[in-house]
Chains A and B, each alone.
Chain A
């Protein structure tokens, strides 16, 4: 079966750096995704990793270690608008995504 673990809540200060961790155990692996979801809105795509290493995209970076079943999302220079839930999702096969329960990040002044 599939299992994805990520912290339920995190708080960080505006301007700081925060790392949101995700561990996964699935029957296959075909990509690891991060989505951002503001309250009451749909998730939006942030990043995709299929090979080990760091993918950087502006203030956001995502890291993957397939051997450890581990990923993290790194957010730099935090802004108030970054307050949202961050969903880790793994694609075990060709199409479906399996989601974690999400990490609610609160950015404080």
Chain B
């Protein structure tokens, strides 16, 4: 069964901490994405990557960075966590040039910043 695995289901961090959210996929997908999901706002794209060591800003990159050292792993970094970054974070992957299945999502990390 193909999978996108996010390392933590729930996290509680303090304001100002550096936070790492890890995502690993075993489908040999080229593309990987990080979204946050908030009530009434839907899914918003933070960063994405089409290849190893490649990254592109999405719609809301401020306060975040990413790392993709290996094809299967895409990390989201909150440089200095703030309370407005409390959210559900979803990682997704897809084949290059899309295809008929769109994304495969991980199970999500619910982050609370206190």
Contact = CB atoms under 8 A, between A and B. Distances in A.
Interface in A72-109: 87, 89, 91, 94-102
Given A33-B102, A96-B45, A101-B40, A41 B97 contact: no
29 contacts: A35-B102, A40-B108, A41-B107, A41-B108, A42-B90, A42-B105, A42-B106, A42-B107, A43-B43, A43-B103, A44-B105, A45-B103, A48-B102, A50-B100, A87-B42, A89-B102, A94-B98, A95-B31, A95-B48, A95-B50, A95-B94, A95-B96, A95-B97, A96-B45, A96-B58, A97-B103, A99-B42, A101-B40, A101-B42
Given A96-B45, A101-B40, 8 more contacts: A31-B100, A41-B107, A43-B90, A43-B103, A45-B103, A48-B101, A94-B96, A101-B42
